[in-house]
């Protein structure tokens, strides 16, 4: 199962809008076939592994990170292929958690006389498809808010400061987080202060360009910014202004999509932005923003997960806080759950969830 999980991770940025799935066929203690799902190559991970195993799949065991599908869509059911291959046993990391379909794949395999074991290393498998789990049920993307900060909660020494807070190791880890995202969203304040490119610099393959999105209610994005200069159909500005305004036309001519959304109390409606990104099959949205947009996202209740990179430093007075939120929000805010802590070079990273996107509903696989 460890190898299947490793393979599934290789499907990051390649499987969407389907779930990431890794599969390994084992016979007589030897791996005879393995694979993971790549949407553009059509076959699910189980089918890739079965094709590599060929006749050796008969009487073998399949280790797979998600319950095999039993429906027909772009491809046929994986359960039918597993049964036809004459497999003896299937070991799955997790069930398909959609109540409408959960367990049906397993039931079909058992009816065919195949032994099924479930929930093997489930805790490691669930994060792989948490974005898919939310999107397939709600058509809204999974939102991760990531930020780097000091021990006293500051993200910058002052507005416009570009001094790195965290280490090279943490910045490399952030690139892998970006790689798993479909869209990266920031605010115009961050663009004006830092002039970032916001690209995926891992060098790893992805089927869609990382969509770089800017919340810019007054359409202030500079035409000379690195974002605009590097735009290749992968930059979008969400604004309250008209796309056919002079500024809007200039950005459009430069290759930036200008998308108008409703505004609430002078701010662009973040819920409307998420609906539009969901409509575009953006499953996983990463927020890398400043105090204003971070605060707006938290107060809007749209953040599912937080990843906080803490540097072992203290900034003291005069710094910029991670988020500007009202005291009322703080008194009613839910605590982060399912906390995890790990080291990243000299830094430490805290991950936690506001929402359980699997809940009592979960997801189903899309063919």
Q: Are 37 and 47 in contact (CB under 8 A)?
A: no
- The dihedrals phi and psi of 338, each to the nearest 5 degrees, come to 50, 50
Query: In the chain, what is the straight-line distance between the N-terminal and C-terminal CA atoms, in Å?
Result: 23
* Catalytic site includes residue 46: yes
Q: CA 293 to CA 248: how far, in whole Å?
A: 22
Active-site residue, from 6, 34, 46, 292: 46
Q: Among 37, 32, 81, which Cα is nearest to 60's?
A: 32
Helix 2-10 with 45-53: angle, nearest 10 deg: 120
Q: Among 215, 192, 221, 181, which Cα is nearest to 307's?
A: 181
Scanning the structure block, which residue is given the tokens 């809008």? 17
Cα torsion for 93, 98, 100, 101, to the nearest 10°? -30
Q: CA 97 to CA 363: how far, in whole Å?
A: 5
In the chain, how many H helices and how many E strands? 13, 18
Edge-first strand order for the sheet with 211-215 is 257-260, 235-239, 211-215, 183-187, 284-287, 142-149, 305-310, 347-353, 337-344
Residues forming the active site: 46
């Amino acid at each position: 199962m460890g190898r299947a999980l490793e393979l599934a991770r290789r499907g990051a940025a390649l499987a969407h809008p389907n779930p990431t799935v890794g599969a390994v066929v084992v016979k007589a203690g030897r791996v005879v076939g393995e694979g993971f799902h790549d949407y553009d190559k059509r076959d699910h991970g189980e089918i890739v592994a079965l094709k590599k195993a060929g006749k050796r799949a008969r009487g073998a065991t399949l280790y797979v990170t998600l319950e095999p599908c039993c429906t027909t869509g772009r491809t046929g059911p994986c359960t039918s292929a597993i049964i036809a291959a004459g497999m003896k046993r299937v070991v799955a990391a997790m069930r398909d958690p959609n109540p409408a379909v959960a367990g049906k794949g397993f039931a079909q395999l058992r009816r065919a006389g195949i032994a099924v074991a479930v929930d093997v290393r489930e805790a490691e498998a669930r994060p792989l498809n948490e974005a898919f789990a939310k999107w397939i049920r709600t058509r809204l993307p999974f939102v991760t808010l990531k930020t780097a900060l000091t021990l006293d909660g500051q993200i910058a020494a002052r507005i416009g400061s570009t001094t790195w807070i965290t280490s090279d190791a943490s910045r490399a880890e952030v690139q892998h987080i970006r790689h798993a995202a479909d869209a990266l969203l920031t605010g115009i304040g961050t663009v004006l202060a830092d002039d970032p490119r916001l690209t995926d610099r891992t060098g790893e393959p992805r089927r869609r360009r990382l969509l770089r999105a800017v919340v810019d209610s007054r359409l202030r994005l500079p035409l000379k910014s690195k974002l605009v200069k590097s735009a290749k159909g992968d930059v979008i500005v969400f604004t309250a202004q008209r796309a056919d305004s002079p500024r809007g036309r200039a950005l459009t001519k430069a290759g930036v999509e200008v998308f108008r959304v409703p505004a609430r109390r002078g701010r662009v409606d973040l819920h409307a932005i998420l609906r539009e990104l969901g409509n575009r099959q953006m499953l996983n949205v990463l927020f890398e923003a400043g105090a204003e947009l971070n605060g707006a996202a938290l107060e809007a209740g749209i953040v599912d997960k937080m990843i906080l990179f803490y540097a072992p430093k203290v900034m003291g007075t005069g710094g910029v806080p991670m988020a500007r939120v009202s005291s009322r929000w703080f008194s009613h805010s839910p605590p982060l759950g399912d906390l995890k802590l790990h080291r990243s070079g000299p830094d430490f990273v805290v991950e936690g969830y506001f929402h359980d996107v699997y809940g009592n509903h979960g997801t189903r696989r899309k063919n």
